[in-house]
């Protein structure tokens, strides 16, 4: 199911294959536009092709149009996108809603490519190691079980929701601002490369099977210094103590934990706010001034009781066990 409850839209291989309908001059002629100077500056050529929902199954003819910069072939029946490799000056490619199963390494030579939409296909193989200027990449609603982006150094927006991703690493995306990985069986935060994400502001990990939040700090202990919005809805977080893994993210303002077991804790909002005091909104509700004051006092009580529990523990093993139990209760541990 999709994040809004709709079914996945990538193609089912069991569907009957559409009849052959290769790209032809007759189809291209009325669909081509935007006369511009060619890349070498010596002549002019049409640089934009828009051919949507035309039942296209084959795009080999693109080899004859090397000056294209903007290609929109969305909602067709294309399986092989290798011919795009002939478009040296390609800037934007929209092929969402096709039947693509493989994005091969031959497309790695598209050094000017900036905007790529491949959502709602059937992509299982991803072989491109890098597009140096690509700022936007949409891989939603495909069939990827893993994703590696070793050299996407200009990427700002990456979305790969509703795949079958078990990992998304390495992600060499130092400029990344928005990352959407919801509805994937990722299971552990460490299965996502959060290292060197100094500009990441928005992270969606909804319905990813997470039971722990360990790993958010990354290898250097401070992986997400700019994160503002974190969506963890629909995971399996039980303990409020797991939120301590987020406490170092001083920029975090919006946290979504709806549909996690932890939300049933009797002091849920206080526990979260005590650990992440700069939040402006928890789930759908803004933090009130009264809640903020109460959480501040609650945190002081937590610290005092924990300190007392530690002092009592020095008197003997039996007392240590009692104090540990009190500590778990005070911290809201549900384990």
pLDDT digits (tens, 9 = 90+) for 227-242: 999 999 999 999 999 9
Percentage of the chain modeled with pLDDT above 90: 76
The pLDDT mean for the chain works out to 88
Is the pLDDT at 332 greater than 60? The verdict is: no
DSSP 300-334: HHHHHHHHHHHHHGGG-HHHHHHHHHHHHHHHT--
Each residue's pLDDT tens digit, 291-329:
999 998 888 887 767 777 676 655 444 333 333 333 333
pTM, two decimals, is 0.87
50: enclosing H helix or E strand: strand 44-50
Give yes or no for residue 84 having a pLDDT over 60.
yes
Q: Is residue 69 over pLDDT 50?
A: yes
Is the model's pLDDT at 14 over the cut of 70? no
Question: What was the pLDDT predicted at 85?
Answer: 98
Mean pLDDT of 88-117: 97
| Whole-number pLDDT of residue 316 | 44
The answer on pLDDT for 222 being more than 80 is no
Confidence check: pLDDT of 7 > 70 = no
For 38-66, what is the mean pLDDT? 92
Question: What integer is the mean pLDDT of 197-217?
Answer: 96
pLDDT at 305: 73
For 122-158, what is each residue's pLDDT tens digit?
Answer: 999 999 999 999 999 999 999 999 999 999 999 999 9
Higher pLDDT, 41 or 15: 41
pLDDT computed for residue 322 by the predictor: 34
Cα 139 to Cα 85, 120, 262, distances in angstroms: 19, 8, 31
**208-214 mean pLDDT:** 97
Taken in order 2, 163, 83, 67, the sign of the CA dihedral is positive
pLDDT of residue 313: 57
Is residue 244 exposed (0-12), middle (13-18) or buried (19+ Cβ within 10 Å)?
middle
**Digit-coded pLDDT (tens) for 249-290:** 999 999 999 999 999 999 999 999 999 999 999 999 999 999
Q: Whole-angstrom Cα distance, residue 114 to residue 91?
A: 5
Q: How far apart are CA 83 and CA 76, in angstroms?
A: 15
């Amino acid at each position: 199911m999709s994040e809004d409850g709709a079914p996945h839209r990538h193609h089912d291989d069991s569907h009957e294959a559409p009849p052959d309908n290769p790209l032809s001059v007759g189809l291209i002629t009325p669909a081509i536009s935007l006369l511009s100077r060619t890349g070498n500056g010596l002549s002019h050529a049409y640089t934009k092709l828009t051919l949507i929902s035309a039942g296209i199954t084959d795009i080999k003819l693109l080899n004859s149009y090397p000056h294209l910069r903007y290609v929109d072939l969305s909602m067709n029946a294309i399986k092989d996108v290798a011919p795009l490799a002939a478009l040296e000056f390609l800037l934007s490619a929209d092929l969402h809603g096709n039947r693509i199963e493989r994005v091969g390494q031959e497309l790695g030579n598209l050094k000017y490519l900036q905007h790529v939409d491949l959502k709602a296909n059937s992509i299982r193989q991803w072989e491109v190691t890098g597009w140096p200027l690509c700022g936007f990449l949409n891989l939603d609603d495909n069939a990827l079980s893993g994703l590696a982006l070793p050299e996407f150094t200009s990427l700002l927006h990456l979305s790969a929701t509703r795949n079958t991703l078990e990992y998304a690493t390495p992600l060499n995306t130092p400029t990344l601002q928005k990352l959407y990985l919801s509805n994937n069986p990722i299971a552990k935060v460490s299965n996502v490369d959060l290292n060197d994400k100094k500009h990441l502001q928005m992270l969606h990990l909804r319905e990813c099977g997470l039971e722990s939040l360990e790993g958010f700090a990354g290898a250097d202990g401070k992986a997400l210094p700019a994160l503002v919005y974190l969506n963890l809805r629909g995971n399996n977080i039980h303990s409020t103590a797991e939120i301590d893994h987020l406490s170092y993210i001083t920029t975090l303002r919006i946290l979504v934990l709806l549909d996690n077991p932890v939300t049933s804790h009797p002091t849920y909002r206080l526990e979260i706010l005590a650990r992440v005091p700069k939040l402006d909104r928890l789930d759908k509700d803004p933090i009130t001034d009264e809640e903020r004051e109460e959480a501040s006092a609650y945190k002081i009580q937590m610290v005092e009781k924990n300190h007392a529990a530690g002092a009592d523990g020095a008197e003997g093993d039996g007392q240590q066990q009692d104090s540990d139990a009190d500590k778990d209760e005070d911290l809201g541990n549900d384990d």
